[in-house]
Amino acid sequence: MIISYKRKAHYHETDKMAVVHHSNYFRWMEEARVYFLEKINLPFTKMEEANIFSPVVSFTCNYHFPVWFDDEFEIKVKAVKYTGVRVNFEYEIFNLTKNKLSATAISEHCFTSKEGRPLSVKRANSEIHTLLENCLKEN
C-alpha cells in the first residue's frame, strides 16, 4: 500500500539559497505520514484516543535535487516494517514541476503512552495492531 501526498512548496519554506530548506523535508514527510495513517483508517486522533503515540526514533534522508518555491511535489509513502513495537516508513519525494526525484528517506518510530512509557501495540490494542499489519501485507 503506497499513498501519494501532493502539494506546492510555500514561500516561507525557502531559505537564502532560494530552495526549500532541508529541515522542511522532515515536516513534509510528517504531513505525508499523517495522510497515510488517515487513509488506512488510523488517524492520529484514533491513536491518541487509544493513548498511543509514535515518536520518531531515527530518520535518514538522502537529498538528490532541490525543490523551489511554488514547485509541486509528491511524496510516496509506505510502511515497510512493523514488529508490534516499532514501525518503519519509506518515502520518495518527487519534484513534479521539474520532473526529478528530490529525496528518498526512511523513518523508524516506536510507540509510547502520553507519558512516554514504551508500549507494544500488539499487546495494547488489537484493532490498531491489525490495521498496521494489514497495510504492510498489501505492499
| Contact residues for 119 (Cβ-Cβ < 8 A; gap 6+) | 52, 85, 111, 112, 113
Residue 137 CB, shortest distance to a copy of itself, in Å, is: 27
Which residues from 96-125 bind a copy of itself, rule CB under 8 A?
Answer: 116
Question: How many residues form the binding site for a copy of itself (CB under 8 A)?
Answer: 35
Residue 4 CB, shortest distance to a copy of itself, in Å, is: 17
Indicate whether 138 belongs to the interface with a copy of itself (CB under 8 A).
no
- 135: closest CA among 58, 79, 53, 81? 79
| Contact residues for 114 (Cβ-Cβ < 8 A; gap 6+) | 48, 51, 53
- Enumerate the β-bridge partners of residue 120: none
Which residues from 66-85 bind a copy of itself, rule CB under 8 A?
Answer: 66, 69-70
For 104, the grid coordinates are: 528518498
Task: Give the binding site for a copy of itself (CB under 8 A).
Answer: 10-12, 14-19, 21-24, 26-27, 30-31, 34, 43-45, 53, 55-63, 66, 69-70, 116
